[in-house]
Structure 1
Amino acid sequence: MRKTERHQMKRDELVTAIEKGSFYVEHHARRIGMLAVGLVVLAAGVFAVRVWWTAREEKASFLLGQIILTYRAPVTTSLDALQPSTSGSRTFSTGEEKDRETVKLADEILTRYGSSGFAPKALYYKGLALSELKNTGEAGQALQDLLAKYPGDFLAPLARYQLARLKESQGNPSEALIQYQALAEDAQGFFPKEEGLMGVARCQEALGLKSEALKTYRKVVSDFPDSDYQFEAKEKVEELS
């Protein structure tokens, strides 16, 4: 077969394919049209969802910023200082007022944006504020919820520490010990292990476990020579020896 004949056959095959395609389009125009409309609607829906989600995240982010500003806001009785500043930061006349506003903002995130990445942060600050309000039951629940639902969040170690301190302040060293031990044994966390160990030792003392507490204080002295807890740990070693 000559080269020109082969080329002619390929052109004929191409024409045949085009004709078949045209025939299909002509006889399935309605179906193709509906498919095209469906694709357009789907694309529009995806875009709308993306816009909605972005707006939702921005609102949640703004609320979290308000939570942090509120929790860290100063408490003052000066009338001039109570006026809103140009930076948008607030001041409060009492710590209770400040903490209640923090809880209110945190609850707004948890109610409206509970599935967002800002929920664990809201739980953390809610727990802190409730602790300041001496509402230890709800404070502990908020911190426990954070640990249960978001164990991998970067605030989880801090929440665990706050929960341990809360249990310790309530005179519940056995439960506090569990949290301090988790902090001391966390190989991946950034939380200072010697601080977890000091908590472990205090709880062991409170539970009457003198020999275990002595071992823990000695571990702080030997394993963390540059720690700020060196002096306190050495004093405890001398006291319990």
Structure 2
Amino acid sequence: MRKPAESKTSYFLSKKGKKVLKISLILSVVVLGAGFFLYAYLSYAGKLTYEKYLEGKDFYLKAQAEEDKQQEKSDLKKAAELFEEIISRRFFSGNKQEVFVYLADCFYRLGESDKSINLIKDFLKRYPKSYFSPWMRLKIASICEEKGNYEEAIKYYQIIRERYAQTSVAPEAVLGEARCCEALGRKEAALKLYQNLISRYPLSSQAKIAEAKLQNFARTNEG
């Protein structure tokens, strides 16, 4: 009786076995080749996208320092176009979340606040636990407040106050919520928020503003 090893050797030495072995080798080469070309393509695509990211960031930073308003707008538009293209692409070796942050600010500074709001909402759906979430929530809250949508702004400010109390944006969120309450005529709620801001973040610049607000309230009541 033949041993199993001898049976396998005999099989691969046979005409049929050689054919199977040849096909297996060809398939292996094809798979390896396809894998290599896919890797090369993804690397190349990622590199091109990253170059666009650097170009977009360069335009964005130039706009930050630009004194000429027309040139600033031109740089922001170029940056926005590049950032939009990056977001639409599937392959990017960099941090796509950061691109959302830059693009949201580009839209806002170009006067396209609704586009900025929609982009931030999309970002928060895609990356709910992102490092940038507190800053993006603060951005959308401040835009809503600026547009007079105080109730909507309060919702975002409250989320920051409750979820991100230890972050650097928390004092600004408390101050923003207080401003919105004041704008809506909710004086007592605004007073409590200003007091909370002073007691919780006493060393913040926002606490100084809150102190001035409380003093103003006191003078108004005395009058």
Normalising by structure 1, what TM-score? 0.78
Amino acid at match of 1:36: L
Q: Give the whole-Å Cα distance in 1 for the aligned partners of 2:144 and 2:164.
A: 23
1:3 aligned residue: none
Change (3 A) 1:60 1:219: same
Alignment counterpart, residue 13 of structure 2, candidates 26, 42, 65: 26
Alignment counterpart, residue 200 of structure 2, candidates 200, 215, 223: 223
Aligned pairs (5 A) from 1:35-114:
35-73=24-62, 74-75=65-66, 94-111=71-88, 113-114=89-90
Q: Give the whole-Å Cα distance in 2 for the aligned partners of 1:204 and 1:29.
A: 82
Give % identity: 22
Asked if the contact 1:109/1:118 (under 8 Å) is kept, the reply is no
- CA deviations 1:93-146 (Å, max 9, x no partner) are 5222122112211122123x2464644333322221121121222121122211
Q: Give the whole-Å Cα distance in 2 for the aligned partners of 1:240 and 1:26.
A: 97
Q: How many residues align?
A: 213
Q: Give the whole-Å Cα distance in 2 for the aligned partners of 1:35 and 1:129.
A: 54
Q: Give the whole-Å Cα distance in 2 for the aligned partners of 1:189 and 1:108.
A: 34
Greater Cα offset, 117-126 or 16-25: 117-126
The alpha carbon displacement at 1:232 in A equals 0.9
Higher gyration radius (CA): 1
Amino acid at match of 1:29: K
Q: Give the whole-Å Cα distance in 2 for the aligned partners of 1:29 and 1:188.
A: 70
The alpha carbon displacement at 1:169 in A equals 0.8
Residue 198 of structure 1 pairs with residue 187 of structure 2: no
Normalising by structure 2, what TM-score? 0.84
Alignment counterpart, residue 146 of structure 2, candidates 169, 172, 183: 169
Q: Give the whole-Å Cα distance in 2 for the aligned partners of 1:145 and 1:22.
A: 60
The alpha carbon displacement at 1:18 in A equals 3.6
Q: Give the whole-Å Cα distance in 2 for the aligned partners of 1:134 and 1:175.
A: 19
Change (3 A) 1:145 1:208: same
The alpha carbon displacement at 1:170 in A equals 0.6
Higher helix share: 2
Which runs of 5 or more residues in structure 2 are unaligned?
A: 219-223
Calculate the aligned-residue CA RMSD, in Å.
2.4
Change (3 A) 1:114 1:214: farther
